[in-house]
Structure 1
């Protein structure tokens, strides 16, 4: 059973179905339980295609009944892969969702799962059925799936798989792909609660390296609206070809886009063969404030943050500002210490208002994204003795986000474990080197080429 913070139910109530491009191709659906399903196709080799089907359903759409300890929901899933009305493949599973108290369901979250299939090229139909075991309610989706082959000698891109999170991983669970845990976003919906769009794709058929030939390839990612206008574009990334098949992982902050349907496009150019291949994927952005009338909409960010800070005691205000240590200036830190409780409250309102990228919206996107990274840092880098946001990797992640590439070097033969994080778009390409100096799994920053970090060009002495 898997959980993810979500907001699909609230978005649907607000009129998400105004986004027809997003729903096009999602097939027919019906029943009492609304859920989302999507697919992604990847090359499997020897003429096979790896088809991944993933789905999500709002947690509070499933009935939780009293159990020995708390409450329990059971959701039965069933998938049939059809061809000419014949069932080729059939998979069933049950997701079990225990909660201590029903109030936990007030915070909307999703149940989700992934189902792998291996298919030969052809035309198929997918029939996905879910049943709430406790209530008997059910829902279904039927959609076609065209499975194309991947030629070994041609430059190709897999489908783009949208995700709520992509992180380095070696556990090889059902979300594992080529060194990453890819948590899929079946609804393809983003916004203030999911401000960062993560994407995963695989590149096939890059030209082999030849002496004195071009050894690079370039990747560009951009977002278009329904009219084809580019509304967000990432800098072109030029990389060295390390093989003929490679993985492309990236992220784009989309919470600043207004509610609507968009399309993510990914272009890859092979410098060795001067060939280009493209792939795209529709998604949607939903922000509640975009649907409020002018009369109902709150004012700028200072006003919208008032209720949050007005209800805080001084110790809570201090705890909040402690999290801001990485972005507050020295002057701001000195000024804050001199203030009384009411002064600190006003200070924090102005502190975040000054950093709000879009003061016309109800939410402060900058603040939401910052604390989302703090939460992710605690999950990824925390330990029993130290919160993740206070670690060196946590600090760099909070300030700069997910690195474009992470090199990991195992600790053996008298060498300590270490990682090199690459940010190709930051200051023209910078690195951060972390070493497990004490051998207890705590990575410490020993060198960086970033202008505001300590440099130690003899950093390799730390790994022995």
Structure 2
């Protein structure tokens, strides 16, 4: 079973000093959740992680002259979108500090709560008690807590910021280590390793006391291939709970979207199960195969037959299917406006994807670009620049497209379904909505694909006319009650 999570992040900060307070203009907060199974109680439990940059909160001086910040945190666990399964409200205080001019720490908190099996929406409100702004930040994330008891299953993969052997047991202690979570799915250049923790359940019920092979790797999101040779394996004796606790050096991992992937196999190399988590890498120090691209000889190749103006258009059209570092390079060569360099990059791009027949690979993609241009372009954007065009080019034609442009109370919308993506994700949906009613610009408002926008309240965006009457402004309500003529659940549930 795979659990897909949404990460929600908020805005930018500046600091000023006013009337004995260190005033932050914008509070920022980041939430992540992981689901685990307690074998002692046979009950799932969620770990909710909260990270708040210390320089984004307001500090007040206490009687001792030191500065302290305080946050009011409200947590709701909504089962099946609209039933409150658990609730928590507490005050999170910062360390007392002498100076607020150079705050570099994050406030980090973890909460554990036992929950029945089910699908949850975890909602969090964070209010800066010392701030004059009394509007709390709202964070939301989906969490699947269905666990098998008689076949292999996995916890979520917990990304780790730091760990050390436990000396005194505390809230971060787990299996002999103090594990502090990494509450992001983004790894900048300054972070050179990715550490992770995962629990695998019920292997002994499947294979007895045999050994199993646990493979873990970093894979590209858009293709089922290991990135930068980041692959390891371990042999473990099957148990009620098997633990994967490891890390990869990502110093040389290029910018891009990746999956941290865990795969379990028996002694006959038959796959028993897999789990993964999405992350994004930005690496200014890695240029990969593009560093020597200007030396590539493209004479007598198909790229020389493309005129310069068309080449600019076609290079731009590669963005939906390009890796992040390739998109960065595309921006560079477009700014340079060097026709020869564009030819070299363009040929390298398709040769890398099909070494024997790069022109054939390009011809297939070109037909898709033409289709996107005809069906999805707007008065402002090329077809490949729109959300529908980008998804079409990145993932290919969907297996089903449903929707309506005249449903009562609804904006025009489309729901795309993919039976299986190239990275082995199954039964994936993309929801698009045309809120301006004038253009052909359908915006992506929700998807259950890894790395895509995920909004549990997407139905409210489609049925904007009825949103207030259906609880849009009520923090406790997540699920939009069906209206007359509504077919979104039928389309989405296919």
TM (norm. structure 1) is 0.52
1:215-294 matches, cutoff 5 A: 215-228=210-223, 229-241=225-237, 243-271=239-267, 274-287=270-283
Query: Are residue 56 (structure 1) and residue 56 (structure 2) matched?
Result: no
Query: Are residue 184 (structure 1) and residue 181 (structure 2) matched?
Result: yes
Contact 1:202 1:248 (C-alpha < 8 Å) held by counterparts: yes
Q: Which of 150, 154, 157 is matched with 2:151 structurally?
A: 154
Unaligned 5+ runs, structure 2? 12-24, 287-327, 334-494
Deviations 1:57-94 (A, max 9, x none): 21111112333233221122110112353433211222
Deviations 1:201-250 (A, max 9, x none): 0111123699xx97322121111223224213445434241633221100
In 2, Cα distance between the equivalents of 1:238 and 1:24?
Answer: 27
Contact 1:258 1:285 (C-alpha < 8 Å) held by counterparts: yes
Contact 1:47 1:149 (C-alpha < 8 Å) held by counterparts: no
Query: Are residue 26 (structure 1) and residue 7 (structure 2) matched?
Result: yes
Contact 2:151 2:205 (C-alpha < 8 Å) held by counterparts: no
Deviations 1:262-299 (A, max 9, x none): 2110112233895521100011223466879979xxxx
1:368 maps to what in 2? Answer: none
- Residues 259, 34 of structure 1: CA spacing in aligned structure 2 closer, same or farther, 3 A cutoff? farther
Contact 1:196 1:253 (C-alpha < 8 Å) held by counterparts: yes
In 2, Cα distance between the equivalents of 1:33 and 1:139?
Answer: 8
Contact 1:71 1:101 (C-alpha < 8 Å) held by counterparts: yes
1:91 maps to what in 2? Answer: 88
Q: What root-mean-square deviation, in Å, do the aligned CA atoms of Structure 1 and Structure 2 show?
A: 3.2
Q: Which of 199, 202, 215 is matched with 1:202 structurally?
A: 199
1:69-218 matches, cutoff 5 A: 69-83=65-79, 85-97=82-94, 98-105=96-103, 108-137=104-133, 138-151=136-149, 153-207=150-204, 215-218=210-213
- Residues 94, 219 of structure 1: CA spacing in aligned structure 2 closer, same or farther, 3 A cutoff? same
2:33 maps to what in 1? Answer: 39
How far is the alpha carbon of 1:118 from its aligned partner?
0.8
SS at structure 1 position matched to 2:101: helix
In 1, Cα distance between the equivalents of 2:119 and 2:28?
Answer: 26
Contact 1:176 1:182 (C-alpha < 8 Å) held by counterparts: yes
- Residues 29, 101 of structure 1: CA spacing in aligned structure 2 closer, same or farther, 3 A cutoff? closer
- Residues 275, 224 of structure 1: CA spacing in aligned structure 2 closer, same or farther, 3 A cutoff? closer
How far is the alpha carbon of 1:155 from its aligned partner?
1.9
Contact 1:190 1:255 (C-alpha < 8 Å) held by counterparts: no
- Residues 141, 92 of structure 1: CA spacing in aligned structure 2 closer, same or farther, 3 A cutoff? same
- Residues 134, 85 of structure 1: CA spacing in aligned structure 2 closer, same or farther, 3 A cutoff? same
How far is the alpha carbon of 1:194 from its aligned partner?
2.5
SS at structure 1 position matched to 2:204: coil
How far is the alpha carbon of 1:131 from its aligned partner?
0.9
Deviations 1:175-197 (A, max 9, x none): 12222222111112223432211
Unaligned 5+ runs, structure 1? 1-22, 296-464
In 1, Cα distance between the equivalents of 2:239 and 2:142?
Answer: 33
SS at structure 2 position matched to 1:207: helix
1:373 maps to what in 2? Answer: none
How far is the alpha carbon of 1:200 from its aligned partner?
0.2
TM (norm. structure 2) is 0.49
Contact 1:80 1:91 (C-alpha < 8 Å) held by counterparts: yes
- Residues 168, 280 of structure 1: CA spacing in aligned structure 2 closer, same or farther, 3 A cutoff? same
Query: Are residue 65 (structure 1) and residue 60 (structure 2) matched?
Result: yes
- Residues 187, 38 of structure 1: CA spacing in aligned structure 2 closer, same or farther, 3 A cutoff? same
SS at structure 2 position matched to 1:102: coil
Deviations 1:328-354 (A, max 9, x none): xxxxxxxxxxxxxxxxxxxxxxxxxxx
Contact 1:205 1:245 (C-alpha < 8 Å) held by counterparts: yes
Return 136-145 or 281-290, whichever deviates more.
281-290
How far is the alpha carbon of 1:34 from its aligned partner?
2.9
- Residues 234, 217 of structure 1: CA spacing in aligned structure 2 closer, same or farther, 3 A cutoff? farther
